[in-house]
């Protein structure tokens, strides 16, 4: 791999680290902050659901654009859009906390701010995934996708600690910092990401060159189902976790944000162990990662639904992180290997877009159940993952990955 490719991959990974930092800080800070501003848990979930609804359409569109325009311009647009979204959200929280923004306007302003991320920021993921696919062989694809996930995991691990350090400056301070990181990442991509023909491309041997991945493509169906279930259950957990700690253990908003931040660190750190140690050391196939990881996700959610102490919650989150660290790259690598080299941006956009349907449905259903019991969303997560696991493992496309 040439020096330009290495520098390009480094800039892609660092950009995802920056996004991971911002996202983990946002998930820890926004639920308690929004609740203090008078936004109900269901409305908090709908902030992310509205964004995810737009993401379903925007991500495939940006994926196709990256196949035609190149990876770098689409990544730049995505990073700048993410920075704008975070800056607008931080401004809304700061203005609402200071009483400069009417409580009636806080909720729609938060929704609009997050939707900017969906419309523009949704280009970063497909372009980054396609860039890695462009520059890895079929044998390298699973570990390459795991490294991509690890970059996000590093950011998600660092994010809560950075957020805790910045929270004394105000709840909006960590989110402003995330916006600044995204701007710096865009500058790095602009300077270091080469927009040259990829050094290596790998196409599935049974894929016709004229084919073009599309929504509900039968080649992608099991991976879409699994990714959607993964997104739905993870999003429900992320959005309700701070509220779960606050209500079950009787914590203040600030303490709940700190405990949730620690939970996100455990989740992300376990994912890093899977992606940087297990996958890179043993080089499992995409199918192996799915076969092992998906049942572990089911077990993790069942453990969380039955837990009654903070230690048990931490253990369940660690198991969940380990499982996510296997299932996520296994799913993306499996989808990537099922299509041709000319479709990598498109398939990344389709997978990233349709799987986000889970981000719409999961949190809305989960927070509705949360009103009846804080444990109910996690019980539902276990059922959803069990059904998706059985479907995926029985599908011939997943079975074919062993070859």
Who has greater pLDDT, 315 or 347?
Answer: 315
pTM of the model: 0.72
Maximum Cα interatomic distance, the chain, rounded to a whole number of Å: 61
Task: Spell out the domain ranges in the chain.
Answer: 3-199+211-400
Tokens (6 digits) for 19: 């996004």
Q: What are phi and psi of 277, to 5 degrees?
A: -110, -60
Taking 80 as the threshold, does the pLDDT of residue 354 lie above it?
no
Mean of the pLDDT values across residues 333-361? 78
pLDDT > 70 fraction of the chain, expressed in percent and rounded: 93
Which stretch of 33-42, 69-78, 158-167, 194-203 has the lowest confidence by average pLDDT? 194-203
Contact 400, 289 (CB under 8 A): no
Tens-place pLDDT, residues 158-192: 887 788 788 888 888 899 999 999 999 999 998 88
Q: What is the pLDDT of residues 200-222, one digit of tens each?
A: 444 444 443 434 555 567 778 88
Of the listed ranges 63-67, 121-125, 223-227, 397-401, the one predicted with least confidence: 397-401
Domain 3-199+211-400 classification at class level = mainly alpha
41 has a pLDDT exceeding 90: no
Measured distance CA(397)–CA(332) in Å, rounded: 13
The 10s digit of each residue's pLDDT in 137-152 is 877 888 888 888 788 8
342 vs 51, which has greater pLDDT? 51
- Unique residue bearing structure tokens 């279930």: 229
Q: Which residues contact 210 (CB under 8 A, 6 or more apart)?
A: none
Tokens at 208, concatenated: 């016709």
Q: What is the DSSP secondary structure assignment for residue 262, as one 8-state letter?
A: H
Q: Find the mean pLDDT for residues 293-318.
A: 90
């Amino acid at each position: 791999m040439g020096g330009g490719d290495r520098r390009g991959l480094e800039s892609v990974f660092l950009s995802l680290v920056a996004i991971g930092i911002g996202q983990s800080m946002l998930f820890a800070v926004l639920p308690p902050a929004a609740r203090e501003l008078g936004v109900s848990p269901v409305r908090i979930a709908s902030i992310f659901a509205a964004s995810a609804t737009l993401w379903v359409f925007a991500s495939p569109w940006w994926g196709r654009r990256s196949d035609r325009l190149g990876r770098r311009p689409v990544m730049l647009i995505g990073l700048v859009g993410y920075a704008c979204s975070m800056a607008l959200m931080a401004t809304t929280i700061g203005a609402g906390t200071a009483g400069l923004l009417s409580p009636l306007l806080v909720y729609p302003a938060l929704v609009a701010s997050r939707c900017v991320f969906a419309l523009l920021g949704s280009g970063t993921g497909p372009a980054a995934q396609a860039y890695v696919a462009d520059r890895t062989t079929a044998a390298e694809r699973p570990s390459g996708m795991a490294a991509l996930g690890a970059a996000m995991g590093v950011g998600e691990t660092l994010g809560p600690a950075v957020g805790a350090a910045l929270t004394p400056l105000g709840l909006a301070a960590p989110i402003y910092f995330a916006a600044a990181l995204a701007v710096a990442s865009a500058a790095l991509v602009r300077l270091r990401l080469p927009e040259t023909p990829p050094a290596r491309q790998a196409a599935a041997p049974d894929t016709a060159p004229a084919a073009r991945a599309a929504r509900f493509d039968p080649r992608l169906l099991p991976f879409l189902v699994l990714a959607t279930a993964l997104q739905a259950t993870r999003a429900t957990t992320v959005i309700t976790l701070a509220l779960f700690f606050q209500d079950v253990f009787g914590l203040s908003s600030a303490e709940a944000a700190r405990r949730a931040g620690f939970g996100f660190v455990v989740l992300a750190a376990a994912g890093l162990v899977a992606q940087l140690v297990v996958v890179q050391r043993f080089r499992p196939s995409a199918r192996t990662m799915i076969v092992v990881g998906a049942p572990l996700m089911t077990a993790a959610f069942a453990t969380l639904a039955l837990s009654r102490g903070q230690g048990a919650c931490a253990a369940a989150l660690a198991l969940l992180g380990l499982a996510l660290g296997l299932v996520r790259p296994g799913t993306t690598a499996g989808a990537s290997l099922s299509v041709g080299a000319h479709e990598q941006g498109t398939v990344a956009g389709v997978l990233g877009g349709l799987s986000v349907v889970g981000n719409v449905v999961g949190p809305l259903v989960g927070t509705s159940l949360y009103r009846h019991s804080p444990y109910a969303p996690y019980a539902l997560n276990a059922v959803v993952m069990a059904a998706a696991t059985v479907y995926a493992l029985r599908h011939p496309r997943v079975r074919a990955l062993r070859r």
